Structure 1
Amino acid sequence: MQMHNPPHPGEILKHLCLEPLGLSVTEAAKALGVSRKTLSSILNGRTGISPEMAIRLSIAFDTTAESWLNQQVQYDLWRAEQHRGKLQVKKLSSKQSEYT
């Protein structure tokens, strides 16, 4: 089931993981083995969660990589759905075979 206006995974990471632990962006980035710039970009919603980052987060916060990727997919799909009406796509349907 698709969520209505889901938050960016970076927002979840910030509010549910970093803030409760009192971690700064610099401390968290170091623990994750990424640059501060990379983590900041995710936290501010400018970059999505990659499969590798999902694995890093799953190790650091004892979660699953799938949960992080699912959050990203839900966010991306919701955003794409907002532009559905602007897409110029024709419906395709299968025709009955001439040999049946």
Structure 2
Amino acid sequence: MNHTDPAHPGKAVREECLARHGLSVFQAAKLIGVTRQALNNLVNCHCGISPEMAIRLAAVFGGEPEAWLHLQMEYDLAHAKERLAGLDIAALSASAMNEQQARLF
């Protein structure tokens, strides 16, 4: 990864939610309604933000669930692009696309 890649969203949760409010993982997990281990996995970048977690984070710390999910999507997309950078694929030409569509119908 290079310096322009987005940080894992767990880092934002750790810094912007827990640290900013002086909360331990245990305290924040209780507020959010998840296990300590589930939140620990997120803030230590071992798992991502699920839609359910995004709703919980938004309810407790503010923002919209979509904003929390957007952080996760940016992170996932950056890593997928990096993993697939050397993939040998090419765009389907218009004539090949028409041929494929004709076969389907």
Gaps of 5+ in 2: 100-105
**What is the rounded CA distance, in whole Å, between the counterparts of 1:81 and 1:74 in structure 2?**
11
Which residue pairs with 1:15 in the alignment? 15
Give the total of aligned pairs: 95
Coordinate RMSD, CA, aligned: 1.7
Tell me which stretches of 4 or more aligned residues in structure 1 moved more than 4 Å: none
- Normalised by the length of structure 1, the TM-score is 0.86
**What is the rounded CA distance, in whole Å, between the counterparts of 1:90 and 1:47 in structure 2?**
32
Residue 67 of structure 1: CA displacement?
0.5
**What is the rounded CA distance, in whole Å, between the counterparts of 1:72 and 1:83 in structure 2?**
17
**What is the rounded CA distance, in whole Å, between the counterparts of 1:12 and 1:72 in structure 2?**
10
Show CA shifts across 1:3-60 (max 9, x none): x211111100101111011100000001110001100111011111000100000000
Residue 71 of structure 1: CA displacement?
0.3
Q: Does 1:26 align with 2:26?
A: yes
Tell me: higher relative CO, structure 1 or 2? Use CA pairs within 8 A at least 6 residues apart.
Answer: 1
Residue 62 of structure 1: CA displacement?
1.6
Residue 94 of structure 1: CA displacement?
1.9
Show CA shifts across 1:49-86 (max 9, x none): 00010000000012110110000000001111112233
Higher helix proportion (structure 1 or 2): 2
Q: Does 1:62 align with 2:57?
A: no
